[in-house]
């Protein structure tokens, strides 16, 4: 393709035109579409809407395991035999203390994730109380909650408590969904996103690549997220967790991961696209390139698996000249953590599972 093709991609995306499926397919497959000019075209769109900012998310696994659902990619699913540290609901004090720690490490948004099918009235009540407390202490920072299915009244209650975002990933296309979960449907997930939107809560919803889906599924999910105007889109890459039903990533190369991120940027030009779980192990030496299409990432690993050390991630962002969206000066963190700068998530074969001190850092022994 000549330069006009790439210029046209950026223009089309910035002006709000949806790319046709043939173009999307060429972007993913690389049919005559070179990677470097493609990334540059996606970066033009990212820069137009998000500048150089990088938004850091830190996930708090508020309750680990005990989930009756059978999402095949999840170590907390009833069908998983992964050796994770299971525990019940963390106390309000623990969640508050971990929020303080997350914001001090540069997190702009604190993500509280609760395993399970859905949020009961009691859970919505408890969560609303916690959200109010965090917001009172950190009015400038944001909160995101992931708590399974949420009803319209539940969403309204969370909104009035001050919730900024609700996460509920669609994960894959509607037609592929039965391959990754049998205890609920794609529509169930979509209904929760609609409830959040109707309540005026921003929606965070993304995908997991590498579960055996076709290129057409990737295109379909990117377009679906566009149609619901998801404000935040985590693009995750399947983490090889031993014991999970889906434990072997399929078809992911560093270059393909970057192409997926570019596609998501073109189709969701102003969204906060996040290079999500598994970036370290799947992008490897190409990791920094992900921040040209994406504008956000996770710090401190994922729900049950380790990622890069904080120092390595923060240094990578600064080295490339991006700007972390935080009021904190993080230079001391980069300097303080040089000893574990080599930690880079998983190798090709399997992920490193978090232990209790990663999952509950403020809990006293």
Chain residues in the site for ligand SF4 (CB under 6 A): 67, 69, 71, 74, 76-77, 115, 148
Nearest-approach distance from CB 84 to ligand SF4, in angstroms: 11
Based on CB atoms, which residue is closest to ligand SF4, 67 or 239?
A: 67
Based on CB atoms, which residue is closest to ligand SF4, 76 or 173?
A: 76
Nearest-approach distance from CB 238 to ligand SF4, in angstroms: 13
Nearest-approach distance from CB 131 to ligand SF4, in angstroms: 20
CA distance 327 to 140: 9
Q: How far apart are the first and last CA of the chain?
A: 60
Nearest-approach distance from CB 63 to ligand SF4, in angstroms: 9
Based on CB atoms, which residue is closest to ligand SF4, 72 or 265?
A: 72
Based on CB atoms, which residue is closest to ligand SF4, 6 or 73?
A: 73
Nearest-approach distance from CB 146 to ligand SF4, in angstroms: 8
39-72 burial: b if 16+ Cβ within 10 Å, else e: bbbbbbbbeebbeebbbbbbbbbbbbbebebbbb
Nearest-approach distance from CB 148 to ligand SF4, in angstroms: 6
Nearest-approach distance from CB 114 to ligand SF4, in angstroms: 8
Based on CB atoms, which residue is closest to ligand SF4, 38 or 67?
A: 67
Nearest-approach distance from CB 100 to ligand SF4, in angstroms: 25
Based on CB atoms, which residue is closest to ligand SF4, 27 or 67?
A: 67
Based on CB atoms, which residue is closest to ligand SF4, 17 or 185?
A: 185
Based on CB atoms, which residue is closest to ligand SF4, 71 or 271?
A: 71
Nearest to 275 by CA among 54, 10, 44: 54
């Amino acid at each position: 393709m000549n330069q006009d093709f790439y210029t046209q991609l950026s223009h089309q995306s910035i002006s709000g035109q949806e790319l046709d499926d043939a173009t999307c397919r060429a972007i993913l497959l690389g049919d005559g579409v070179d990677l470097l000019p493609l990334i540059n075209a996606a970066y033009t769109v990212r820069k137009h809407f998000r500048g150089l900012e990088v938004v850091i998310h830190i996930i708090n696994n508020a309750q680990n395991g005990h989930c009756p659902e059978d999402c095949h990619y999840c170590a907390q699913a009833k069908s998983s035999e992964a050796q994770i540290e299971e525990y019940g609901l963390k106390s309000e004090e623990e969640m508050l203390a971990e929020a303080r720690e997350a914001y001090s490490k540069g997190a702009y948004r604190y993500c509280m994730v609760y395993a399970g099918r859905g949020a009961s009235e009691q859970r919505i009540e408890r969560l609303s109380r916690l959200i109010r407390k965090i917001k009172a202490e950190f009015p400038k920072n944001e909160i995101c909650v992931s708590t399974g299915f949420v009803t319209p009244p539940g969403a309204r209650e969370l909104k009035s408590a001050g919730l900024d975002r609700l996460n509920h990933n669609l994960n894959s296309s509607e037609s592929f969904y039965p391959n990754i979960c049998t205890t609920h449907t794609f529509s169930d997930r979509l209904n929760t996103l609609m409830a959040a939107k109707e309540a005026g809560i921003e929606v965070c919803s993304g995908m997991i690549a590498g579960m055996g889906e076709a290129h057409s599924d990737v295109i379909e999910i990117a377009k679906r997220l566009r149609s619901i105007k998801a404000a935040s889109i985590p693009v995750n890459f399947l983490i090889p967790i031993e014991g999970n039903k889906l434990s072997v990533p399929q078809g992911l190369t560093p270059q393909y991961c970057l192409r997926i991120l570019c596609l998501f940027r073109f189709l969701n030009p102003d969204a906060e696209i996040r290079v999500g779980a598994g970036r370290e192990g799947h992008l490897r030496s190409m990791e920094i390139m992900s921040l040209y299409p994406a504008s956000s990432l996770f710090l401190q690993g994922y729900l049950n698996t380790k990622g890069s050390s904080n120092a390595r991630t923060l240094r990578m962002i600064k080295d490339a000249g991006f700007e972390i969206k935080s009021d904190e000066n993080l230079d001391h963190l980069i300097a303080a953590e040089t000893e574990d700068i080599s930690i880079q998530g998983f190798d090709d074969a399997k992920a490193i599972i978090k232990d209790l001190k990663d999952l509950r850092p403020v809990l006293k022994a």
